[in-house]
Amino acid sequence: MRIKAFAALLGLACLLALAVAQNNVSSQRRTQPNDALVYSVRAYGARGDGKTVDTPAVNRAIEAAAAAGGGTVLFPAGTYLCFSIRLKSNVSLHLDAGATLLAADPEKDKGRYDEPEPNEWDMYQDFGHSHWQNSLIWGIGVENVSITGPGLIDGRGLTRRSPRPRRPLQAGDTPTTLGGAQAARPVSPLGEDLPHDAMNGLGNKAISLKLSRNVTLRDFSILNGGHFALLATGVDNLTIDNLKVDTNRDGFDIDSCRNVRISNCSVNSPNDDAIVLKSSYGLGFARATENVTITNCFVSGYDIGSLLDATYKRNVKEAPDKDGPTGRLKFGTESNGGFRNITVSNVVFDHCRGLALETVDGGPLEDVTVSNVTMRDIVTAPIFLRIGARMRGPAGAQPSVLRRVQISDVVVYNADPRYASIIAGLPGHPVEDVRLSNIRILYRGGGTKEQAALQPPERETNYPEPSMFGELPAYGFFIRHARGVELSNVEVGFMTEDLRPAFHLEDVQGATFRGVAAQRAADMPTFVLKNVEDFNVRDSRPVPDTRVERTESKRF
């Protein structure tokens, strides 16, 4: 009896153990991808040897996953040479450790990227902004998609060329160089003067997305992404996290998108912008970029490739114009729909241009906060706020508004002395309601008395760059056509004596300076005011508390 009872108890214990084990397995299946939903590209014929064109196999795997209702398309370790990869809804691409997705070269690898689709609105933005299919990875009208994993997208076979819009060249089409002249860009590398059909068969973007939603990009790296490492146009609920991008033109172009989260990214782009928000007319209508957060990111203008190999070299001689490496965070230039409800925090700039907030095509730029920013070795204006009248869009648009902007807790070291920080509207269209606080900017200095006497031109229709006004009559801040500007706890200084005033205000109504400190050379004023109303400065050095109701010209 005892033996039977023991056997019964042992059997019961085994049943309980088996039940627990089955429950654990069931739990693992709930929390881990089911093998049946993972589609390895190798199972569909991909070789991954870097020599065989694997595009058909990759697209077969994506189509199989989509046909089953969704799944993960896996790129195991290897190098996958591809032309255009077509994303489908409910499908994720996962680049495993050691996996490289290599953009094929049309001439060398005997193939073609998907043709750029027709776009009747392509006269209002450059070629790259007007087409999406001519890319290494593209999706139009997709939802619930992601690209993840620690692998690499190598855009070796992509071109960075982008012809100008289909219409006569205008002043606002090309970035300006110092003094406002049209930049002398080399024709061959950027292809601005090429006919549009010269782009047929070429790919000029690593990833492009149009009119899509619920997209996640996480953990991978991009090297040499073509004109855009990422172009997202009309994409809603977009998450970009922990990407490293080392590219030969733009990094992220977020165009007419809503509800975007960009975090923990490093973007090196000496020849163009690193992280840039835009609102072009590429969709055929104006759509704002709004509800965006950018946080914990790094932007730079090092030599291409030296971010990913962690050498951080600074020998670059090529730039889109004579202003030096780009690599910045910018709103604009394309700005038909404008920008609303955006926050930027915890961003580091190194060896690049400064922060630029621009609206020049008729859209509003409003309700923006920028905080906790450090900049070092900045080659143009550390802060650039600009309303312009380029108006690259359908006829009838008027200059819009730039208002309700707060920038705080910024430290800048070794800024180029040619460019003060700039807040510049247009006559009758002032920049409004700007608050700058807890900011310290140290310029290299060296400005002259001749520069202090300059009267910068307006250049309303020019492509917006800090250099468009030429050398400036102030070393710290140049503020023109503005209303309701407040600077508190702001300090500016120089490393070499500068013979210009710290602040130049012109056509400004309602300016408050509180707790401001400014270094100045002997016999030089701190402030120059021209056509200024309702000006107040207090608790500041080296000037006494001063209130000015109205003045045509005042220096102190």
**Backbone region of residue 428 per phi and psi (left: phi > 0; alpha: psi in -120 to 50; beta: other values):** left
Residues 88, 89, 91, 94: what is their CA dihedral angle, to the nearest 10 degrees? 70
Residue 182: predicted pLDDT = 59
Q: Is the pLDDT reported for residue 394 higher than 80?
A: yes
pLDDT digits (tens, 9 = 90+) for 87-111: 999 999 999 999 999 999 999 999 9
Return the half-sphere exposure (C-beta side, CA atoms, 13 A cut-off) of residue 159: 22
Query: What is the mean predicted confidence (pLDDT) over 312-331?
Result: 85
Structure-token match 């204006």, residue found: 381
User: pLDDT value at position 16?
Assistant: 41
Strand bridging mode 527-538 / 546-555: antiparallel
**Residue in 195, 276, 168 with CA at minimum distance from that of residue 229:** 276
Which of 10 and 91 is assigned the larger pLDDT? 91
- Give me the pLDDT at residue 168, please: 78
Q: CA-CA distance, 181 to 468, in Å (whole number)?
A: 8
pLDDT 10s digits, 186-225: 444 556 677 888 889 999 999 999 999 999 999 999 999 9
Residues 162-195 have pLDDT tens digits of 887 877 777 788 776 665 565 554 444 556 677 8
Specify the pLDDT at position 1.
Answer: 42
Structure tokens at 537: 């400065």
pLDDT of 20 higher than 80: no
Q: What percent of the chain has pLDDT over 90?
A: 85
pLDDT at residue 319, rounded to an integer: 67
In the chain, the amino acid numbered 515 is G
Please indicate whether residue 309 or residue 199 has the higher confidence score (pLDDT): 309
**pLDDT tens readout for residues 229-251:** 999 999 999 999 999 999 999 99
Residues 244, 299: Cα–Cα separation, whole Å: 10
Which DSSP symbol is given to 357? Answer: E
Task: Report the alpha-carbon angle 78-80-85, nearest 5.
Answer: 140
pLDDT digits (tens, 9 = 90+) for 482-515: 999 999 999 999 999 999 999 999 999 999 999 9
Q: Which residues contact 293 (CB under 8 A, 6 or more apart)?
A: 260, 261, 262, 263, 342, 343, 344, 345
Structure tokens that stand for 420 in this block:
């003060």
Alpha-carbon torsion 201, 204, 210, 215, what sign?
positive
Buried (b) or exposed (e) across 98-126, using 16+ Cβ within 10 A? ebbbbbbbbeebebebbebeebebbebbb
Which residues in 137-146 are b (16+ Cβ under 10 Å) and which e? bbbbebbbbb
Residue-wise pLDDT tens digits, 466-485 = 999 999 999 999 999 999 99
Residue 33 pLDDT level (bands cut at 50, 70, 90): very low
Mean pLDDT value of segment 518-529: 96
What residue type is 445 in one-letter code? G
pLDDT at 456: 96
The stretch 112-137 carries a mean pLDDT of: 96
CB hemisphere CA count around 129 (13 angstroms): 29
Domain annotation for the chain: domains and CATH numbers: 113-408+421-478+490-530 (2.160.20)
Tokens of 5: 């009872």
Distance CA 247, CA 330 (A): 16
- Residue located via tokens 């040619």: 418
Instruction: Determine the average pLDDT of the residues in 148-158.
Output: 98
Percent of the chain exceeding pLDDT 70 equals: 89
pLDDT at 283 over 80: yes
d(Cα 441, Cα 95) in Å, to the nearest integer?
42
Q: Please say whether the beta carbons of 269 and 301 come within 8 A.
A: yes
Who's near 425: CB < 8 A, 6+ residues apart? Answer: 386, 387, 402, 431, 480, 481, 482
Strands 503-514 and 527-538: parallel
Question: What whole-number distance in Å separates Cα of residue 84 and Cα of residue 206?
Answer: 9
Which residues fall within 8 angstroms of residue 168, CB to CB, at 6 or more apart? Answer: none
Q: Quick one: how far is CA 430 from the chain centroid? A: 25
Residues 52, 57, 58, 61: what is their CA dihedral angle, to the nearest 10 degrees?
-160
CA distance 417 to 357: 20
Is the separation of the CB atoms in 482 and 504 below 8 Å?
Answer: no
59 Cβ contact list (under 8 Å, min separation 6) = 85, 86
